[in-house]
Structure formats: C-alpha cells, structure tokens
C-alpha cells in the first residue's frame, strides 16, 4: 500500500422519495439556482418534485447544460448567479450537470478569468458556492467527488479540474429517478463505472488487499446486475445497486493507496473530442486492446482479475489474461456498448488524426508507469478496428 | 438495499511519518490538549513526535485515559479544557483514548450535567470542540466514526453515544506506530475488526450486493493478514492493511443500507462490565454460539459467508453453516484469542448474574429481528462454557 490522504465530506441521502429531504439539506434562507440539462428533467416531473421540496425558497432554473458541459454555457450561469445574488446551487441530472455545477460554483467566486480554473486544474480555487445534487443518471461518480471535466468549444479543449472546494455538500440518490433513462445511457453508465474501477485496479499487485477486494466487489456486482439493469428498468433493487456501485467506483475510496492508470480515459477523450463518441463508448473500444497491449506489465493483476472477477481457473497465466480480456469485451457488448472502432464508422484512416491530437495535448507518457507512448496508442487503435 | 444516509467528513492521513502533517492539520494558533492513555505513548516516543510536530503551538498533556474510558477521568480533562481555554483536542492512542476525547470534546461545551450526553445517547449534543487523532492501535474504528462508549465506574454503567459533532477532523494512521504493541492488543484488534464486520454483514440476504462484497473483502483480508500481523510485527505492509481494514470495518460504509445485528456486542459488554474480560475476548466467546443459536434465521447469509469467505463448497446448507462457524472459532483461536468462558475462569455458576445484568440494562430484544431474548443468551453462554 502506498501513502495516501482520503477526505470525502459529501452527505449521501439514498432511497426512493429522498428528494423530499432537500427541505432539510438546503439552507432555509437560500437563494437557489437549479441547474439541469435537457427537457427530460422537466418531462419526468423531477424538476417539479425538486422545486416543491424547496418550498418557499427563492428558486430559479437554469437549463440546457450539455453532455460534455461547455465553458460557454456555464459562464451564462455564472452571470445569472452574480446578477441575482444566488447563494446555493442545486444540480439535477447526471455527471455532466454536476460537473458543470462544480465549475459554476467555483467560477462565480473566482477573481480573474475563470478559464484559468481549467488551465491550473483547479489549484487556484480558494472558495466556491455551496451546492448539492439530485442524481438521475448513475455513471460518473461526480455526485461524491471533487473532480469535473469541462469543454471549451471555441478551443476544442476538454480539461479536468479538481478541488476540495467543489465536493457537493450533499447528493440525493433516488433509484426510481433512473427508471425513465434511455437504455443507451444506462448501458453507458454500467461501462463507465466498470472502467473507472479498472483504471484504479488493473495496474500491478501492490500489497493493497482491501482496495483490491473492494474493486473486485464493484466489478463483480456490475457483471451481475448490468444486464438486469437494462432488461428490467423498474427493478428497484437492481437500479439501487447500480447507483451506489457507480458512486463508489469513483469517490476516492478504492483509489486510495494504490497505483492508478487512466490511459484508457486519456485516449478515449480524443475519440470524443474528434468524433463525438459517447464517453463510455470510447472506453469500451479502448480498454480491451489497452489491456492486451500492456499485458506483460499488467500480467500479475490480469491473472488476479481473471480468477477473482471471472472465475477463470484453467490454463497458463497468459491464457487467463487473454480469457479475461475477452470476457471484458463480451460484457460491454452484452449491455449493448459496441467495442470496435468500425462499429462507430471509424477506420484506419482516422488513426493518424487521433494520435496527432493526443500528442498535441501532451499525452505522451500515459499509464501507471508513464510508459504508454503515442505509438502504443496507435497499435491499440489498430487492434480495435 | 434499505434507504440510508451516509456522511463521514474525517480526513485520513495514512503512511509512515505522517505525524509530521499535524503541523498542517492543526490550526496554527490552537491551544492544544493532547490526550493519551498509559506510559507507552511516552515510552515509544510517539508523544515526543507529536509535540515536535505541533511546533510552537501551546500544548498541554493529559494522560491516564483507561481502557473502557471513564466518565470520572474524562471530567478531569473537561476541567482542564475549561480552565485553560483549550480550543483543540488531539487524541494519541487507540479506541479508548479517541472515544474518551470525543466525550471531552462534547462535554466541554455542554451546558448542564455532562452525564446527560450518555443518557440521551448523544442526541442533545449541539456542538463540540474540534479534535483530531493519532491512531496507535488498529481495532475499534473510532478514528473515523461518530460513536463513543463511556463507562461510569460509580454506576457500573457502560453507555454509548453518537453525534455528527464528534467526527474527528482528521486521523493520522501510521502503521509503524503499531510495531511496539503487545501481541494481545494486536490479536484483540484483529478479532474486534472481524466482529464489527460480522455485526453488519451476517444477518439475512437483503439485495445489497456491494455492501456484501465489501464486508466479505474485509473479512477475507483479516483472515489472510491476521496471523502474519502477529508473527511479523514489523512487516509494514501487513500492519498497513490491518490498520486500514479496521478503520473501514466501522466507518459507516459497509453498514449503510443493510440490516445490522449487534447482539454479540450487547451480550459481550456484560462480560466486560462484570468480569473484566477484554472487549475482543468477550466477542470471541459469544459470536460462535450466537451464530449457532440463530442459525435458522441467519442460514442464507451463513451459507454465503461459508462459500465466499471460507471457500466451503461441500455439503448441505447446514453443513456449510456449521463448518463456517467452526472456521470462525478456529480463526480467533489461531490469533490467540480464546473462545470459551472456561478459558477466562468463568463457569456455569456465573451465567445467572450475566443474564440478570443484561435484563437490568433492558437488553431483552436483541439482533437484526429484535427476537434474541435473555433466554437465548443464556443458552448461548451455556454452549460457550
């Protein structure tokens, strides 16, 4: 186990009907801006339920936050916050809305050009407006962490920032709110959570048995419940486990004290930026061949993963690793997330552009050892055709 | 999964040498009272290391907090805090010192008779002094939770309280600080952590797959590392895993959203109060026969425990449950914690007194179903002779 710091002060209120607890969670005198994405929040009645729970508080709405939330849209929200002396933000939606709200919370109190929050990865954030979230889409874990990723369309840049100032004060997790999600978003959420765990787990054995067991437990649970979450959208218990699993996949716990990878995410970001694939689709394409490309360095953990998550007991270490990689690919396909570039209309002719973009973003030494080069990434994409 | 609230704002600083981080963790202008137990904190140099890290801050020491910390001793500390305008407390020790510090933190700002904190189980705590901890003994989890148990010698009463006001602001976990612990304390810590998990896990299947996997991961880890933690006291990685496992065993995470038992603890408390057994010794005596007595109600989870934690695959459900109970007993014995009343000089003639005491404390409907009676407890003790 490596040295670590762990801190996570977000309060979770979990269960059907918990939106009513907003009345206790949000300060009684707050002037609240409710941020959300598209029309689904309104159509499903969630927005009405939220505003009803907020009672007589002064409440304004700000809709239209996009998937891959944009600096441009969010700065409009910052203008509203400043103009109307908003003092509490409430995100209603999935990871994009919560990520965007984190940025608004920090930018509203930031002196100077708010874009600097991104260029310094959040290190210059000294304070932020308090905010909470009502989660409607289990996937990113943003509801219980301090990270956010923001896109600036005019610069074609997608950048992360982190700060303890942007932990949500609370997040309300009501599994019923996921019943009306499109299948594609649920499937993406399963894959996103799975690969969040893999980025923190599938590196090399490092004497962290509890972190390993927790990560394996999250993976096993996703394997068990993923297909059922799609087949039975109103099975409360399945959706409840999916929601809590996705939160725990990226709240800092399983990554505390262990090496981390994140190469799959970095390469995947380029596929979203250039070719507009969903985030989870990019991960499903990249991960299997990333694991195969790096099989030698990851062999110890691949074998452990094969045995403990997939119960693969036969064959050589290499056999087990190969079988586990294929099971992983099959799992993504089984929930309907395609794993080949060709499935998204991309061919060998697109690879140069992707690698150029990766290099231009300085992503030349990726992974837990910092030894994954653009040339490795080229081979990975070729193998993913 | 049941509805739940989860909140845990304690910051963890984990690793060798992390005591130096006290300089960042404790406010620069604080007037600090350092609370500790016996002379070992001084003898091992930990107290010197702590006071050195606190630099030029105004620091006083308060030693002598007992195992099963007493109201009487702690009120002396409250007097010091009030007299000298102490505004930050620092616990240096194990669960007893941290539990005691929680009480001092609340009592120092409490108006009225501080014993009311215990009689109301902490519900009347409105504020508390801020405090942190330097953990030296992995066992109770007090370093990252909001609970405490205090004994009032004059009343022969041992009572718990809980309050969000008494979460430690931070806890420093340095595995090296455990190297000099007596074997008995390390063994007790292994058993204590194991049974903390069991109280939150071994109830009935309730569709909480992630909580189950996490609990099983903690149990499996304790089984793997427990004997080695005793055999190789200076194996850093083993002690690191033991320390983090014991913290995670009772920080609210694995108990969120699941039924809980705690009957073993309630009966065990009587054995400590009347016959002065170590807390972990009482749990090791009670748990195996508690599981056997309640085998019918717990059968589903006992079989899951047998299969997943002990890899018992043969036989009927009853066979698996019986085998798992015996493996549990053998595990406690293997780390040197005896599991029979006779091992502690207690015989059948002591049982009436224990049951009378249990009843006088109102413990007449224990367990996850509230159906464990004093008569059941009598049978459990008879079977534990």
Cross-chain residue pair B1–A244, CB shorter than 8 Å: yes
Q: Which residues of A touch B (CB under 8 A)?
A: 1-16, 18, 207-210, 212-214, 216-218, 220-221, 224-225, 237, 240-241, 244-245, 248, 253, 256-257
Cross-chain residue pair B6–A18, CB shorter than 8 Å: no
Tell me which chain B residue has its CA closest to the CA of residue A8: B9
Percentage of chain B beyond pLDDT 90 is 96
- Please report where in the chains the tokens 């030894």 appear, as a residue: A371
The pLDDT value given to residue B254: 98
**CATH superfamily, domain at B183-383:** Dehydroquinate synthase-like - alpha domain (1.20.1090.10)
Q: What is the mean pLDDT of residues A317-332?
A: 98
The pLDDT value given to residue A112: 94
Min Cα distance A283 → chain B (Å) is: 23
**Three-state SS at B295:** helix
pLDDT tens track for A142-152: 999 999 999 98
Min Cα distance A199 → chain B (Å) is: 19
Candidate from B3, B13, B220 with C-beta closest to A14 = B3
The pLDDT value given to residue B154: 85
Mean pLDDT estimate for chain A:
97
pLDDT tens track for A331-349: 999 999 999 999 999 999 9
DSSP string, B328-358: HHHHHHHTT---SGGGGT--GGGHHHHHHHH
In chain A, residues with a C-beta closer than 8 Å to the C-beta of B218 are: 210, 213
In chain B, residues with a C-beta closer than 8 Å to the C-beta of A3 are: 14-16, 18
The answer on pLDDT for A153 being more than 90 is no
ipTM summary value:
0.97
Close Cβ partners of B269 (under 8 Å, ≥ 6 residues apart): B158, B282
Tell me which chain A residue has its CA closest to the CA of residue B175: A3
The pLDDT value given to residue B159: 87
DSSP state of B154: G
Candidate from A213, A241, A257 with C-beta closest to B220 = A213
Contact in structure between B250 and B140 (CB atoms under 8 Å): yes
What are the residue ranges of helices labelled H in chain B? 22-25, 40-43, 46-53, 71-83, 95-108, 116-119, 183-201, 209-231, 236-248, 263-275, 279-293, 295-310, 317-334, 351-360, 374-383
pLDDT tens track for B237-274: 999 999 999 999 999 999 999 999 999 999 999 999 89
The answer on pLDDT for B296 being more than 90 is yes
In chain A, residues with a C-beta closer than 8 Å to the C-beta of B16 are: 3
The pLDDT value given to residue A264: 98
The answer on pLDDT for A261 being more than 80 is yes
Q: What is the mean pLDDT of residues A192-214?
A: 97
Q: Which fold has domain B11-177?
A: Rossmann fold (3.40.50)
Closest to B252 (Cα-Cα) out of B203, B205, B214, B290: B214
The pLDDT value given to residue B361: 86
Given pLDDT bands bounded at 50, 70 and 90, which one contains residue A361? Answer: confident
Candidate from B5, B13, B237 with C-beta closest to A207 = B237
Min Cα distance B138 → chain A (Å) is: 15
Report the half-sphere exposure of B322 (CA within 13 A, side-chain side): 6
The pLDDT value given to residue B289: 98
Domains of chain A by residue range: 11-177, 183-383
Cross-chain residue pair B4–A15, CB shorter than 8 Å: yes
pLDDT tens track for B334-359: 999 999 999 999 999 999 999 999 99
The answer on pLDDT for A64 being more than 80 is yes
C-alpha A68/C-alpha A140 separation (Å) is 12
Q: What is the mean pLDDT of residues A354-379?
A: 95
Min Cα distance B240 → chain A (Å) is: 7
The pLDDT value given to residue B166: 98
DSSP string, A130-175: -EEEEE-S-SS-GGGSSEEEEEEGGGTEEEEEE-GGGS-SEEEE-G
The pLDDT value given to residue B240: 98
The answer on pLDDT for A156 being more than 80 is no
pLDDT tens track for A103-138: 999 999 999 999 999 999 999 999 999 999 999 999
pLDDT tens track for A88-109: 999 999 999 999 999 999 999 9
Cross-chain residue pair A3–B15, CB shorter than 8 Å: yes
Q: What is the mean pLDDT of residues B112-117?
A: 96
Candidate from A210, A221, A244 with C-beta closest to B218 = A210
Mean pLDDT estimate for chain B:
97
Candidate from B207, B224, B253 with C-beta closest to A237 = B207
Q: What is the mean pLDDT of residues A236-257?
A: 98
- Please report where in the chains the tokens 């930050």 appear, as a residue: B88
**Would you state the structure tokens that stand for residue A172, as one six-digit string?**
């309300």
The answer on pLDDT for A330 being more than 80 is yes
Q: What is the mean pLDDT of residues B302-324?
A: 98
Candidate from B5, B210, B244 with C-beta closest to A210 = B244
Tell me which chain B residue has its CA closest to the CA of residue A214: B214
Q: What is the mean pLDDT of residues B180-192?
A: 97
Cross-chain residue pair B241–A1, CB shorter than 8 Å: yes
The pLDDT value given to residue A91: 98
Cross-chain residue pair B5–A11, CB shorter than 8 Å: yes
The pLDDT value given to residue A157: 78
Percentage of chain A beyond pLDDT 90 is 95
DSSP string, B207-269: S-HHHHHHHHHHHHHHHHHHHHHHH-TT-HHHHHHHHHHHHHTTSSSTTTTS----HHHHHHH
pLDDT tens track for B3-60: 999 999 999 999 999 999 999 999 999 999 999 998 889 999 999 999 999 999 999 9
Given pLDDT bands bounded at 50, 70 and 90, which one contains residue A39? Answer: confident
The answer on pLDDT for B156 being more than 80 is no
C-alpha B158/C-alpha B70 separation (Å) is 9
DSSP string, B84-100: TT--EEEEEESHHHHHH
C-alpha A134/C-alpha A250 separation (Å) is 17
Candidate from A3, A16, A248 with C-beta closest to B210 = A248
């Amino acid at each position: 186990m490596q040295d670590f710091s762990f801190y996570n002060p977000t309060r979770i209120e979990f269960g059907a009907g918990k939106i009513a607890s907003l009345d206790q969670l949000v300060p009684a005198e707050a002037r609240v801006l409710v941020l959300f994405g598209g029309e689904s929040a309104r159509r499903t009645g969630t927005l009405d339920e939220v505003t009803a729970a907020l009672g007589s508080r002064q409440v304004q709405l700000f809709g239209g936050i996009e998937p891959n939330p944009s600096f441009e849209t969010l700065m409009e929200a910052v203008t509203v916050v400043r103009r109307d002396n908003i003092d509490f933000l409430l995100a209603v939606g999935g990871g994009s809305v919560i990520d965007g709200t984190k940025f608004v919370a920090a930018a509203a109190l930031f002196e100077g050009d708010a874009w600097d929050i991104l260029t310094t990865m959040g290190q210059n954030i000294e304070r932020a407006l308090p905010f909470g979230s009502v989660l409607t889409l289990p996937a990113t874990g943003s509801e219980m962490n301090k990270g956010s990723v923001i896109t600036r369309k005019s610069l074609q840049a997608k950048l992360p920032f982190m700060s303890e100032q942007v932990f949500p004060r609370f997040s309300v997790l009501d599994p019923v709110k996921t019943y009306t999600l499109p299948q594609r978003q649920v499937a993406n959420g399963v894959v996103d959570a799975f690969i969040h765990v893999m980025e923190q787990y599938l590196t090399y054995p490092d004497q962290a048995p509890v972190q390993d067991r927790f990560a394996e437990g999250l993976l096993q649970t996703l394997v068990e419940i993923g297909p059922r979450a799609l087949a039975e959208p109103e099975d409360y218990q399945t959706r409840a486990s999916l929601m809590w699993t996705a939160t725990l996949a990226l709240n800092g716990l399983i990554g505390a004290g262990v090496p981390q990878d994140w190469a799959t995410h970095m390469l995947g970001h380029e596929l979203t930026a250039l070719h507009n694939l969903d985030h989870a689709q990019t991960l499903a394409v990249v991960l299997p061949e990333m694991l195969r490309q790096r099989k030698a360095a990851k062999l110890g953990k691949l074998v452990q993963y094969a045995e403990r998550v997939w119960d693969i007991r036969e064959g050589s270490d290499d056999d087990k690793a190969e079988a586990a990689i294929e099971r992983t690919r099959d799992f993504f396909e089984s929930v309907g997330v395609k794993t080949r570039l060709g499935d998204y209309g991309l061919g060998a002719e697109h690879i140069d552009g992707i690698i150029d973009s990766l290099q231009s973003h300085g992503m030349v030494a990726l992974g837990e050892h910092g030894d994954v080069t653009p040339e490795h990434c080229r081979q990975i994409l070729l193998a993913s055709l």
